[in-house]
Amino acid sequence: MRDFEYLPTKTVKEACALISQYKEEGKILAGGQSLITLLRQKLISPSYLIDIKGVTELDYLTFDEKKGLRMGALTTHRAIEKSPLIQSKYPVLSEMEKSVASVQTRNWGTIGGNLCSGDPIGDPAPSLIALNGKIKIVSSREEKIVPLAEFFTDYFTTILEPDEILTEIQLTPPVPHAGVVYMKFSTIEAGIKIVSTSTCIILESDKMTCRDARIVMSAVAPVPLIAKKAGELLIGKKINDDLIAEAAQLASGETNPTSDVHGSAEFRREIAKVLVRRAVKEAFEKAKRT
Amino acid sequence: MDIAKKILKVNVNGRPYELLIKPKTTLLQFLRNDLGLTGAKQACMDNSCGACTVIVDKMAVKACSVLALQVNGREVMTVEGLASRDGKLHPLQQAFLDYHAFQCGFCTPGKLMSSKAMLDENPHPNEEEIRRDMEGNLCRCTGYTQYIEAIKAVAQKKEVAK
Ligand SMILES: Cc1cc2nc3c(=O)[nH]c(=O)nc-3n(C[C@H](O)[C@H](O)[C@H](O)COP(=O)(O)OP(=O)(O)OC[C@H]3O[C@@H](n4cnc5c(N)ncnc54)[C@H](O)[C@@H]3O)c2cc1C
Ligand code: FES
Ligand code: FES
C-alpha cells in the first residue's frame, strides 16, 4: 500500500470541502471493505483519504408513511439486515442483506460504499432499483436527486464526479398488491453470486393483471441489468405460467454476461432464465396476498 | 511525500493505548506489530478468510481490511482478551478444546472472536444461525463440523457465556 494523508471528517460539509479541494488526488473512505483491498493491490493510490465513517449524520434509517424510507449512506449492511423497520416495511432488503458478503464485512461496510463501488455483482443495487430507489448526491456545488437506475454507467463506474458524495437512499412507501423478491444462485451461501435478481411485481386491484414489473439482475452485465423487455411484456396482462416463462426467456436474452471462474456466459444466461421465472412467480404470489 | 504520522487512541482488551502510527497501518498490523498481539492471524490479506477477525465495539470485523485509524476512540477485543485474568479459559475456548475443533489452529482466533460476537448478540442461536454467522471464517484443515458442535454446546448452556 502506498502512503496517503488521512483526513477524518465529522460532517458532510467538511467532507465535501475536502473532496472538492483534492478531487482526483483524493478518495472517500467509508468502511473500506472494497477500498482497502484496492489500495493494498495498488490498483489505486490516492494521496488523500477522506474518511467519512465518522460522519454520524449519514447513519440513519427513517420512515414516513407519506415520504417513505430515507437511509443514510453510512448505514451498514448489518444495520439494514437487522432493522425492525426494514423487516416490516421492505423485508426484501433484509433478506437480500443476509446474502451480502460475511458478517464481518456487513458489520463495517456501508450501503453507500457498496453502491459507489459500482461492482455489477453487488446485491443491494438490483433490490433498490426494483423498489424504484432514488439517491441523493451532494457536493460543494450542488445537491441533486437521481434515480438509482441511472447511477451506474459501466463496470465499477458511476455518474459520481470526483467531488461528489452519495449521502442518502430514498424509497417511496410500499404500495398495495406489490410483491418483491430477492433470489440468488451462488455456490456458497454468502459468496459471489453467479446471478441474483430482485423482482418487483405490482398488480391491479383484480390481483391478476400486472400494473408494473421491474426485473433487475446482478452479475450479468457491466451494470445492474434492468430487463426492460421482460417487464414490458408483463405490464397490462393477466399473469400466468406461460407468460412468466416467456418473460424469463426475454430477460435471459437481455443479459450480456461474461465468462469467469464462477461460471460461463452461457451458464449465467441459463441461470438468469430460471431465476427470473421463479422470482416473477413468487413475486406474483406475494403480490396477490398483499 | 513525507506522510505525517497520526495519533491513535484506542482501548485494546481493556487497556488504553496512545500511539503514533502511519495512516496506512491496518488494524491487523497495528495489533501484531505495534502491540505484539499476534493472536489475530494474517492469512489471505484480502478480506476473505476471517483469520484476522477481532471485535470492535461488539462487532466482529476483519482486521486486515480496517485501517487502524478508523478504530480511534473505540474498543477492540482480540483473542488475547478472551480468557479471564486468572487464566481461566472462556467457555468457547474450553469447548473448542473439548470438541477438538482445531488442528493447526491458524483459523481458531478468528473463529473464537466471530463466535464470541455472535453469542454476545444472540446467546442461543440455532445451528442454521451459527452456520450463517460463521460463514466469514474459513478453515483449511479441521473442517467445519467440530467447531460448530463446540459453539452449539456453548449456545445450548442455560448460563450465558460472557
Ligand atoms: C469478501 C467480500 C465479499 C463480498 N461479497 C459481496 C456480496 O456478496 N454482495 C455484495 O453486494 N457485495 C459484496 N461485497 C462488497 C461489499 O459489500 C462492499 O465492499 C462494501 O459494501 C463497501 O462498502 P464500504 O463502506 O466498505 O466502502 P469503501 O470500501 O469504503 O468504498 C468503496 C468505494 O466507494 C466510494 N465511496 C464510499 N462511500 C461513498 C459515498 N458515500 N459517496 C461517494 N463515494 C463513496 C469509495 O471512495 C470507494 O471507491 C463483498 C466484499 C468482500 C470484501
Ligand atoms: S487475513 Fe483478513 S480476511 Fe484473511
Ligand atoms: S485448524 Fe487449521 S485452518 Fe482451521
* The three grid cell numbers given for residue A157, joined into one nine-digit string: 463506474
B6 C-alpha vs ligand 3 centroid, how far in Å?
36
Write out chain A residues lying below 8 Å of B115, CB-based: none
Chain Cα centroid distance, residue A183: 14
Find out whether B23 and B6 touch, Cβ atoms under 8 Å. Answer: yes
pLDDT, position B37: 98
Residue A45's pLDDT band (cuts 50, 70, 90): very high
Q: Which residues of A touch B44 (CB under 8 A)?
A: none
> Which residues have CB under 8 Å from A3's CB, separation 6+?
B1, B3, B22, B23, B24
Q: Ligand 2, residue B28: give the atom nearest the CA.
A: 2
How far apart are the CA of B111 and the centre of ligand 3, in A? 10
pLDDT tens across A232-286, in order?
Answer: 999 999 999 999 999 999 999 999 999 988 889 999 999 999 999 999 999 999 9
Q: Are A268 and A195 in contact (CB under 8 A)?
A: yes
Would you state the torsion angle of the CA atoms of residues A66, A72, A78, A81, taken in this order, to the nearest 10 degrees?
Answer: 10
* Segment A90-120, tens digit of pLDDT: 999 999 999 999 999 999 999 999 999 999 9
| Ligand 1: centre distance to CA A36 (Å) | 10
Model pLDDT, residue A7: 97
C-alpha cell at A265: 456466459
Residue B162, pLDDT above cutoff 90 = no
For the beta carbon of residue B4, count every other beta carbon within 10 angstroms. 11
- Find the B101 Cα to ligand 3 centroid distance in Å: 9
Do B56 and B116 belong to one domain? no
Query: Does residue B111 share a domain with residue B72?
Result: no
Instruction: Give residue B60's domain range.
Output: 6-78
Instruction: Inform me whether the pLDDT recorded for A189 exceeds 80.
Output: no
Q: Cell 474459513, residue?
A: B138
Chain B: residue whose CA lies nearest to A55: B70
pLDDT digits (tens, 9 = 90+) for A57-95: 999 999 999 999 999 999 999 999 999 999 999 999 999
CA–centroid distance, residue B154 to ligand 3 (Å): 20
- Kindly report the average pLDDT of chain A as a whole number: 96
Q: What is the pLDDT of residue A190?
A: 65
- Judged against a pLDDT cut of 90, whether residue B160 lies above it is answered with no
Out of A36, A51, A104, the one facing B50 most closely (by C-beta) is A104
Give the closest of A3, A102, A104 to B22, CB-based: A3
Chain A residues with CB under 8 Å of B5 CB are none
B83 is a domain residue: no
Go through A114-135 and write b for each residue having 16 or more CB atoms within 10 A of its CB, e for each that does not: bbbbbbbbbbbbbbbbbbbbbb
Residue B1 lies in a domain: no
Q: What mean pLDDT is predicted for residues A134-159?
A: 97
Q: Are B112 and B39 in contact (CB under 8 A)?
A: no
Q: Is A29 in the pocket of ligand 1 (CB under 6 A)?
A: yes
Q: For A102, which of B4, B59, B135 is closest by C-beta distance?
A: B135
B23 with B67, same domain: the answer is yes
Q: Is A6's CB within 8 Å of B135's CB? A: no
CB contact under 8 A, A6 and B26: no
Query: What tens digit of pLDDT does each residue of B38-78 get?
Result: 999 999 999 999 999 999 999 999 999 999 999 999 999 99
pLDDT of residue B158: 60
Chain segment B100-148, per-residue pLDDT in tens: 999 999 999 999 999 999 999 999 999 999 999 999 999 999 989 999 9
pLDDT tens across A173-186, in order?
999 999 999 999 99
Number of inter-chain CB pairs under 8 A, A vs B? 90
> Which of B56, B78, B100 finishes a domain?
B78
Question: Whose atoms come closest to the Cα of B27: which ligand?
Answer: 2
Give the CATH architecture of domain A60-171. Answer: 2-Layer Sandwich (3.30)
Q: CA B14 to CA B17: how far, in whole Å?
A: 10
Any atom of ligand 1 within 6 Å of the Cβ of A257: no
| For residue A137, pLDDT beyond 70 | yes
What local confidence, expressed as pLDDT, does residue A192 receive? 81
| Number of domains into which chain B is organized | 2
Contact across the interface for B60 and A104, Cβ inside 8 Å? yes
The answer to whether residue B161 scores a pLDDT higher than 70 is no
For the domain that residue B64 is a member of, what is the CATH number?
Answer: 3.10.20.30
Q: Which chain A residues are closer than 8 Å to B69 by Cβ?
A: 6, 8, 51
- The CATH number linked to B127 is 1.10.150.120
CB contact under 8 A, A32 and B45: no
pLDDT (0 to 100) of residue A188 = 76
What share of chain B in percent tops pLDDT 90? Answer: 91
**B38 assigned to some structural domain:** yes
Same domain, B54 and B101: no
Q: What percent of chain A is modeled with pLDDT above 90? A: 95
Boundary of a domain, candidates B53, B78, B103: B78
Question: Is pLDDT above 60 for A207?
Answer: yes
For ligand 1, say whether the CB of A120 is within 6 Å of any of its atoms.
no
pLDDT tens profile B70-87: 999 999 999 999 999 999
Give the 3-state secondary structure of chain A: CCCCEEEECCCHHHHHHHHHHHHHHEEEECCCCCHHHHHHCCCCCCCEEEECCCCHHHCCEEEECCCEEEEECCCEHHHHHHCHHHHHHCHHHHHHHCCCCCHHHHHHCEHHHHHHHCCCCCCHHHHHHHCCCEEEEECCCCEEEEEHHHCEEECCEECCCCCCEEEEEEECCCCCCEEEEEEEEECCCCCCEEEEEEEEEEECCCCCEEEEEEEEEECCCCCCEECHHHHHHHCCCECCHHHHHHHHHHHHHHCCCCCECCECHHHHHHHHHHHHHHHHHHHHHHHHHC
Q: Which band of pLDDT confidence, cut at 50, 70 and 90, is reported for residue B159?
A: low
Handedness of CA B147, B152, B157, B158 (dihedral sign): positive
B145 SS3 class: helix
Q: Is the dihedral of CA A63, A71, A155, A281 positive or negative?
A: negative
Break chain A into its structural domains and give their ranges. Answer: 5-51, 60-171, 178-289
Q: How far apart, in whole angstroms, are the C-alpha atoms of residue A140 and residue A13?
A: 8
- Which H or E run contains B128? helix B127-133
Q: What CATH class does A5-51 carry?
A: alpha beta
B108 plus B73 within the same structural domain: no
Classified by CATH at the fold level, domain A178-289 comes out as Enolase-like; domain 1 (3.30.390)
DSSP state of B3: P
| B115 to chain A: closest CA residue | A103
The number of the ligand nearest the C-alpha atom of B109 reads: 3
When computed from its CA atoms, the radius of gyration of chain A, rounded to whole angstroms, is: 19
Pick the last residue of a domain from B78, B104, B132: B78
Confidence of residue B1 (pLDDT cuts 50, 70, 90): low
- Tell me which chain B residues have a C-beta less than 8 angstroms from the C-beta of A5: 1, 3-4, 23
SS3 at position B14: coil
The ipTM (two decimal places) reads: 0.95
